[in-house]
Amino acid sequence: MTLTTDNPASKPVETRTPVLQARRLVKTFGQVVGLDGVSLELYPGEVLAIIGDNGAGKSTLIKCLTGAEIPDEGEIFLDGQPVHFKRPQDARSAGIETVYQNLAVSPALDVASNLFLGREERRKGILGSVFRMMDTKGMRKKAKAELAALGITTLQDVTVPVENLSGGQRQAVAVARAAAFGSKVVVLDEPTAALGVRESNQVLELIKNLRDRGIPVILISHNMPHVFEVADRIHIQRLGKRAATITPASHSMTEAVAIMTGAKRIGNSDE
Ligand SMILES: Nc1ncnc2c1ncn2[C@@H]1O[C@H](COP(=O)(O)OP(=O)(O)OP(=O)(O)O)[C@@H](O)[C@H]1O
Ligand SMILES: [Mg+2]
């Protein structure tokens, strides 16, 4: 909810608690400053895009939020509580699912196995507990239901090895896996970069589906039309900081690019 009444400047004031929040993160690599005091807020039910030039710190920011890097300074909050992720599994256990750019799917495994990778379900009773037998049937059934719930209709057969799928379908499997386990937040790094028009559109629809199911999404993308199509808000990263947070309604793509490159400055910058 945004309030406009109590504020003298009648500037909208955020009153909600962010699902995920970063405050003044710093991350250096030797002499190189990857993050220089960046802050970010992800609110419930939104798609937050992160845009920025090469080297602006987008991936480093995401890595700090998802436990793949540990920030030197700054704080991270999940549902208002401070968190200190030491490894990706910590973030995953806390409900933050990440689809990295170099897709973390296993090509030789089938769709259902990929969905349950690292979270395989065993058969009930002694077969599972003693003989460690997988509940393949159960997982396939759940995988089908999950894909259907996400509106992924091009993947009828969950027993097909992922290596036989198209790029878009593989991306769909990765996103479905991220969405499938009661996650609080889904983070996607360049999910449409390697995809054609039709496949990209499917992934964009998937992102909207996630949002409609109440899962907020962080989307890193260089593709302005994609960003402007799905994002509720756009975090513009520049030189390790947040240059601005805008919305598709408040700014044009040209203006967004101008802020990204430093040609245009804006009031709500952290710089
Ligand atoms: N592991 C690392 N070791 C040394 N420098 C790094 C490392 N990771 C990132 N950097 C540096 O930190 C800065 C931010 O990099 P980052 O990968 O976050 O940028 P990015 O915004 O994701 O760029 P791109 O759009 O090219 O993916 C860059 O100067 C980069 O060279
Ligand atoms: Mg990157």
CA distance 223 to 191: 10
Q: Whose CA is nearest to atom 6 of ligand 1?
A: 29
Write down the pLDDT at residue 268. 62
Is 254:264 a contact under the CB 8 Å cutoff? no
- For the ranges 5-9, 210-214, 238-242, which has the lowest average pLDDT? 5-9
CA of 114 to the centre of ligand 2 (A): 24
CA of 100 to the centre of ligand 1 (A): 14
What atom of ligand 1 comes closest to residue 63's alpha carbon?
18
Arithmetic mean of pLDDT, 215-227 = 94
Q: Whose CA is nearest to atom 25 of ligand 1?
A: 54
CA of 83 to the centre of ligand 1 (A): 23
CATH architecture of structural domain 15-261 = 3-Layer(aba) Sandwich (3.40)
Find the ligand nearest to 38 CA. 1
Q: Read out DSSP for 159-194?
A: TSBGGGS-HHHHHHHHHHHHHTT--SEEEEESTTTT
- What band does 189 get if pLDDT is binned at 50, 70 and 90? confident
What atom of ligand 1 comes closest to residue 61's alpha carbon?
18
Choose which residue among 35, 36, 40, 60 to substitute to test ligand 1 binding: the one with the highest number of ligand atoms within 8 A of its C-beta: 60
Is the confidence at residue 104, as pLDDT, over 50? yes
Residue 59 corresponds to which tokens in the numbers above? Answer: 């991936």
CA of 220 to the centre of ligand 2 (A): 8
What atom of ligand 1 comes closest to residue 57's alpha carbon?
18
Write down the pLDDT at residue 98. 85
Choose which residue among 26, 32, 219 to substitute to test ligand 1 binding: the one with the highest number of ligand atoms within 8 A of its C-beta: 32
Write the CA distances from 190 to 99, 120, 207, 218, 224, integer angstroms.
9, 27, 12, 10, 12
CA of 47 to the centre of ligand 1 (A): 23
CA distance 4 to 191: 35
What count of Cα atoms within 13 Å lies in the side-chain half-sphere of residue 19? 20
Single pTM value for the model: 0.83
pLDDT tens-digit series, residues 130-156: 877 888 898 888 888 888 877 777 777
Is 35:61 a contact under the CB 8 Å cutoff? yes
What is the three-class DSSP state of 238? strand
CA of 138 to the centre of ligand 1 (A): 41
Is 42:246 a contact under the CB 8 Å cutoff? no
Q: Where are the domains of the chain?
A: 15-261
Start-to-end Cα distance in the chain: 27
What value does the mean pLDDT of the chain take? 85
Residue 108 corresponds to which tokens in the numbers above? Answer: 């030789």
pLDDT tens-digit series, residues 158-183: 888 888 887 777 777 877 777 776 68
Is the confidence at residue 101, as pLDDT, over 70? no
Write down the pLDDT at residue 236. 97
